[in-house]
Structure 1
Amino acid sequence: MFSIFHADYWPFVILLSSIGLVTLLISKWRFHPFIALVLAAVYVGLLSPDLIAEGGLVAALESPMQALGTMAGNIAWVIALAAIIGSAMMESGAAANIVNQLLKTMGEKQAALALMLAGFILSVPVFLDTVFFLLIPLGITLALKTGKDYVLYVTAIGGGAAITHSIVPPTPGPLIMAETMGIDLGIVILAGLALGILPAILVIWVGKKMNRRLNIPVRIHSNDSPKVAKELSLSLSLAPIILPIILIGTASLYEAITGQIPEGLALIGNKNAAMAAGTGLALYLWARSQNLGANDLWTKIGKPLEIGGLIILITSAGGAYGAMIGQSGIGDAIKQATAGLDLHLVPLAWLIAAVLKTAQGSGTVAMISSAAIITALLGNNFDLPYHPVYLLMAMGFGSLFVSWMNDSAFWVVARMSGLTEKEALKTWTFLLAIISLAGMLQVWLLTWIIPLV
């Protein structure tokens, strides 16, 4: 009986059964994702013979908790600050100011492009659901005013936000993938912004095609008027987002070019310090726009910290699950199963993330788990003919495929836009599938053209 625990196929049994467990717990039995992921991590530990042999049954409990703490230590500060920046930009009017300035500059004819750019930019520090809540009233207002292009506006907003949400830190999924794979955060940010351009263009093209083919009326009349900070310039409104990117990116590029980095630049370019700088600026804008004193400001910060705390718990639990998958022996098992096969890791990484996303619905969980699997497959040997950031990007794009009824974002888009489930499948689900595939093909091609090694 116990011989099956040492069979070559046993790690695959652990992986597939744990994915099934997560899917059932979250999608069918409606467990909270934090509880579901911790239980899945313990489940993997109980089925991992090497772990049990070394530490006994108690190791199946202790190892996931240690992994959870380690992951939380790596990401908690950054995610908490990102939540504060997002709320501060919403409350100060800076976020709405960015949208309105883009619409004013680009004009009504380019309204879809302006909305897509707004979603693309704002989804870096602000979570996708919140970005959609902010922007969809503008899409509805424009559609009612012009009497056309509603599908285009919905897809532009959702598509732009989904891209950066999946491949640009400090959103949780890309952030944890970078930590898991040991890739410099600045490189991930710069690569994500660059590799998001082509899919963003594709969003507009696909949106226009669907807009001509589908006749979906506006069913929701929004009276929401986004708060606009008229005294803020576009550059000042963007500053809380741009400042951390510049600091982190500059330090990463300097080190990549010279092979070393001055201590002062390393300090200000550190993700924790850079995000703190962006947060300080966002809080200043928040306090100035609403004339808040110190006590009032710190009181208001409590709510985004509660939201950030929940995200930290879920993503850390996902990190614990991923870490336990990494200890299950799946890396060696995949190596043995694919020995002699000429497989490129980019489509494999994309496929793993895509399967995980389709099965259980959460893009973040899909990214975390697939990063753990790929890291286990490579072990400590990242000696690839291309930079490992390409694998990270492939998994980020894979986490967009397929968004359907088990994905919370699917329901946010459908309900806020007044779409039926069938209409959401024809628009949102189809759009993300196209973005996902195109993004993967782009990454695959670039590993040959610009390997970055």
Structure 2
Amino acid sequence: MTDPLLILAVGVVIVVGGIIGLKLHPFLALLLGAFVVALMTPASAIEQFAITKGTAPVAAAALAKKNIGERIATEFGVTCGKIGILIAMAAIIGKCMLESGAAERIIRSMLRITGVERAPIAFLISSFFIGIPVFFDTVIFLMMPLAKAMTLRIGKNYLLLVLCIMAGAAMANSLVPPAPGPLFLVGEMHIPIGMMMIGGTIVGLMTITSGYFFALWANKKWPTPLRDAMDARLEDIKAIAAKEDKQLPGLGVSLLPVLIPLVFICADTALTAMATPGVPFTDSPFLLKLISLIKFFGDKNIAVVSGGIAALLVLARQKKGSKEGLTPFVQAALMSGGGIILITAAGGAFGGMLQQTGISARIADMTKDYQMALIPMAFFIAAVVRTAQGSATVALITASGILSGMASNASLGFHPLYLGLAIGCGSKLVPWMNDAGFWIVCKLSNLTEQEALKTISPLLVVMGLTGLVVIMIAAQLFPLV
């Protein structure tokens, strides 16, 4: 009864069955799943998991002795600490951009350049390149208000736009440094970072092309309307869409809530990538202060708060003279964001309890002697770990740890780059209820759980498998050794 695979199966049945079968609220189903998984996990497995993560034996033993409620609350809090401020401020940015007309102004400007038919492609490519330096969830927060405004402008294709945003951001996040997962991977497998950036971009563009065709098919098969939401009522967005150009804020001002966090996060990422440990960038006091300022505002929480302040200022300027003030808009945004935070944190708690079962080590042990070709094996290991515990980053770390020795093998018939890319593509499969990113996309887009499972999950499966095929062909034709 203590096999991690059995515990995983029970957790899946409880969460998926609770949400789809019993119509439980996702927050309750995820907490119930986390409780049952934690209850079934023996103390020895928890202690071993902590030790493999680098925890001191005394601290690992203390973790194993903690009661179930405390362990669940800890993982809940860790997830909340990672995404709480981001989601709250992103909800404010989205609400302010919609209410002020900033999102409408950006959409009108984009349509003048791309035209209506090519707008989804613009969303796809934009989210991919924004997703290279910026965290996946931040891309979703910044672009979802634009998808809602665009849908009202063109009157169709809401699901297509949502899937395009998801496709671009997800693939960049696991394939192209300086995203955190690929950065760890290149260090572990000794792949030159420049080579990974070029290879990841090429494979990423091919995978999002297949994702785009899947999104077109899904949009036709399951056309999904833009629904009313607490922070984005359709009648309000329609009223803004009917305004004349002169009633909307200028394009430069409208872009500030998005550009401020984007520019600071990108600048901080670039500085981190160029830094040499223990060696200062410059001797100039002025430049050192400037770098410190960029590093301060480049923190993702501070960057998004800065974007939120800019969004509030744009809204205040547009509502000048209005008696209602900004409080109703902020309150509506926070009520919506609060629900997303709770569900996402509960998903993090469920995923955390699954990790403590030792599921990653169990999968590693099952595959260590698997005599399959290395590239598909790398893909397979990452995919199974991702599906089992919900984190693409954990899948990257686990798979690269298993295969790092093979990557440095002199008799390898192709460059280790291909193993790294295969791991990145495999880490996309399969997102479901134990994945915090799944809930962020699901709730920000107002898709139901069933809609998300039949569109978002297969979208990433299609792109991941496309990447595997492309990588295997490239390794055969261009081994780079």
- TM-score (ref. length: structure 2): 0.64
Does 1:81 pair with 2:89?
A: yes
Q: 1:114 corresponds to which residue?
A: 119
Task: State how far apart, in whole Å, the 2-side matches of 1:373 and 1:430 are.
Answer: 18
Task: State how far apart, in whole Å, the 1-side matches of 2:402 and 2:294 are.
Answer: 28
Does 1:345 pair with 2:362?
A: no
For 1:263, give the aligned amino acid.
S
Q: 1:43 corresponds to which residue?
A: 36
Q: 1:320 corresponds to which residue?
A: 349
Match of 1:437 among 455, 462, 465: 465
Q: 2:337 corresponds to which residue?
A: 308
Once the two structures are TM-superposed, the CA of residue 236 in structure 1 deviates from its matched residue by 3.0
Contact 2:164 2:215 (8 Å CA) reproduced: no
Q: 2:21 corresponds to which residue?
A: 28
Percent identity at matched positions? 23
Contact 1:350 1:397 (8 Å CA) reproduced: yes
Contact 1:330 1:376 (8 Å CA) reproduced: no
For 2:466, give the aligned amino acid.
A
Task: State how far apart, in whole Å, the 2-side matches of 1:106 and 1:195 are.
Answer: 24
Q: In structure 2, do the counterparts of structure 1 residues 67 and 274 end up closer, same or farther at CA, with 3 Å as the change threshold?
A: same
Task: State how far apart, in whole Å, the 2-side matches of 1:247 and 1:270 are.
Answer: 8
Contact 1:67 1:319 (8 Å CA) reproduced: yes
Once the two structures are TM-superposed, the CA of residue 63 in structure 1 deviates from its matched residue by 0.6
Once the two structures are TM-superposed, the CA of residue 139 in structure 1 deviates from its matched residue by 3.2
Does 1:287 pair with 2:316?
A: yes
Contact 1:99 1:114 (8 Å CA) reproduced: no
Q: In structure 2, do the counterparts of structure 1 residues 23 and 156 end up closer, same or farther at CA, with 3 Å as the change threshold?
A: closer
Report the more deviating stretch, 42-51 or 55-64: 55-64
Q: 2:411 corresponds to which residue?
A: none
The residue matched to 1:124 in structure 2 has which SS? helix
Deviation string 1:20-77 (CA, Å, 9 cap, x unpaired) is 2211111111111111112211211111112689578862221111111122122211
Report the more deviating stretch, 312-321 or 45-54: 45-54
Contact 2:382 2:423 (8 Å CA) reproduced: yes
Match of 2:256 among 233, 236, 239: 239
The residue matched to 2:84 in structure 1 has which SS? helix
Task: State how far apart, in whole Å, the 1-side matches of 2:295 and 2:474 are.
Answer: 29
Alignment of 1:39-438 (within 5 A): 39-49=32-42, 50=44, 59-107=67-115, 111-118=116-123, 124-126=139-141, 132-140=147-155, 153=157, 156-164=160-168, 166=170, 197-202=205-210, 224=238, 226-227=240-241, 230=246, 231-260=248-277, 262-291=291-320, 296-341=325-370, 343=374, 344-350=377-383, 353=386, 367-368=390-391, 371-372=393-394, 394-396=426-428, 398-399=430-431, 434-438=462-466
Contact 2:76 2:348 (8 Å CA) reproduced: yes
Contact 2:163 2:215 (8 Å CA) reproduced: no
For 2:382, give the aligned amino acid.
A
Contact 1:331 1:377 (8 Å CA) reproduced: no
Q: In structure 2, do the counterparts of structure 1 residues 137 and 371 end up closer, same or farther at CA, with 3 Å as the change threshold?
A: same
Task: State how far apart, in whole Å, the 2-side matches of 1:322 and 1:392 are.
Answer: 20
Report the more deviating stretch, 190-199 or 115-124: 190-199
Structure 1 gap ranges (5+): 142-152, 170-176, 184-189, 357-365, 416-420
The residue matched to 2:117 in structure 1 has which SS? helix
For 2:98, give the aligned amino acid.
M
Task: State how far apart, in whole Å, the 2-side matches of 1:192 and 1:290 are.
Answer: 44
The residue matched to 1:340 in structure 2 has which SS? coil
Once the two structures are TM-superposed, the CA of residue 380 in structure 1 deviates from its matched residue by 11
Q: In structure 2, do the counterparts of structure 1 residues 207 and 125 end up closer, same or farther at CA, with 3 Å as the change threshold?
A: closer
Contact 2:203 2:467 (8 Å CA) reproduced: yes
Contact 2:114 2:122 (8 Å CA) reproduced: no
Once the two structures are TM-superposed, the CA of residue 218 in structure 1 deviates from its matched residue by 12
Q: In structure 2, do the counterparts of structure 1 residues 371 and 159 end up closer, same or farther at CA, with 3 Å as the change threshold?
A: same
Task: State how far apart, in whole Å, the 1-side matches of 2:218 and 2:240 are.
Answer: 27
Q: In structure 2, do the counterparts of structure 1 residues 308 and 117 end up closer, same or farther at CA, with 3 Å as the change threshold?
A: same
Q: In structure 2, do the counterparts of structure 1 residues 37 and 154 end up closer, same or farther at CA, with 3 Å as the change threshold?
A: closer
Q: In structure 2, do the counterparts of structure 1 residues 203 and 393 end up closer, same or farther at CA, with 3 Å as the change threshold?
A: closer
The residue matched to 2:139 in structure 1 has which SS? coil
Contact 2:79 2:345 (8 Å CA) reproduced: yes
Q: In structure 2, do the counterparts of structure 1 residues 158 and 78 end up closer, same or farther at CA, with 3 Å as the change threshold?
A: closer
Task: State how far apart, in whole Å, the 2-side matches of 1:78 and 1:256 are.
Answer: 23
Task: State how far apart, in whole Å, the 2-side matches of 1:378 and 1:216 are.
Answer: 37
For 2:465, give the aligned amino acid.
L
Q: In structure 2, do the counterparts of structure 1 residues 70 and 263 end up closer, same or farther at CA, with 3 Å as the change threshold?
A: same
What is the number of residues matched between the two proteins?
A: 393
Contact 2:211 2:459 (8 Å CA) reproduced: yes
Q: In structure 2, do the counterparts of structure 1 residues 288 and 191 end up closer, same or farther at CA, with 3 Å as the change threshold?
A: farther
Q: In structure 2, do the counterparts of structure 1 residues 389 and 247 end up closer, same or farther at CA, with 3 Å as the change threshold?
A: farther
For 2:71, give the aligned amino acid.
S
Contact 2:382 2:399 (8 Å CA) reproduced: no
Once the two structures are TM-superposed, the CA of residue 399 in structure 1 deviates from its matched residue by 3.0
Q: In structure 2, do the counterparts of structure 1 residues 63 and 294 end up closer, same or farther at CA, with 3 Å as the change threshold?
A: farther
Task: State how far apart, in whole Å, the 1-side matches of 2:206 and 2:321 are.
Answer: 41
Task: State how far apart, in whole Å, the 2-side matches of 1:294 and 1:245 are.
Answer: 33
Contact 2:360 2:398 (8 Å CA) reproduced: yes
Contact 1:99 1:115 (8 Å CA) reproduced: no
Report the more deviating stretch, 75-84 or 122-131: 122-131
Q: In structure 2, do the counterparts of structure 1 residues 290 and 44 end up closer, same or farther at CA, with 3 Å as the change threshold?
A: same
The residue matched to 2:23 in structure 1 has which SS? coil
